Amino acid sequence: MAQLLEQCDLPVAANRSAEAAAAAFSVRVPQSYLRRMVAGDRDDPLLRQVLPQAAEMEMNEGYSRDPVGDIAASPLPGLIHKYHGRILLLITASCPIHCRFCFRRHFPYRDHELSPQQLESVVNYLRLHPEIHEVIFSGGDPLMASTERLLTITTALLQLPQLRRLRIHSRLPIVAPERLSEELITGLGATRLSPVMVVHCNHPHELTAEVIAKLAQLSAAGWTLFNQSVLLKGVNDCAKTLIILSEALFAAGVLPYYLHILDKALGVAHFAVPNQEIDPLLHAMRSTLPGYLMPKVVTEVAAFPYKQSYYYRDG
pLDDT per residue over 241-252, tens digit each? 999 999 999 999
**pLDDT tens across 141-164, in order?**
999 999 999 999 999 999 999 999
Residues of the chain with pLDDT under 50: 307-308, 315
What is the average pLDDT value for the chain, to the nearest integer? 93
Burial class for 303, CB neighbours closer than 10 Å (0-12, 13-18, 19+): middle
Q: Against a cut of 0.85, is the pTM above it?
A: yes
pLDDT of residue 16: 75
HSE on the CB side for 261, CA within 13 Å? 23
Q: What is the pLDDT of residue 308?
A: 47
Q: Which domains are seen in the chain, by residue range?
A: 60-312 (3.20.20.70)
Cα(212)–Cα(248) distance, rounded to whole angstroms? 10
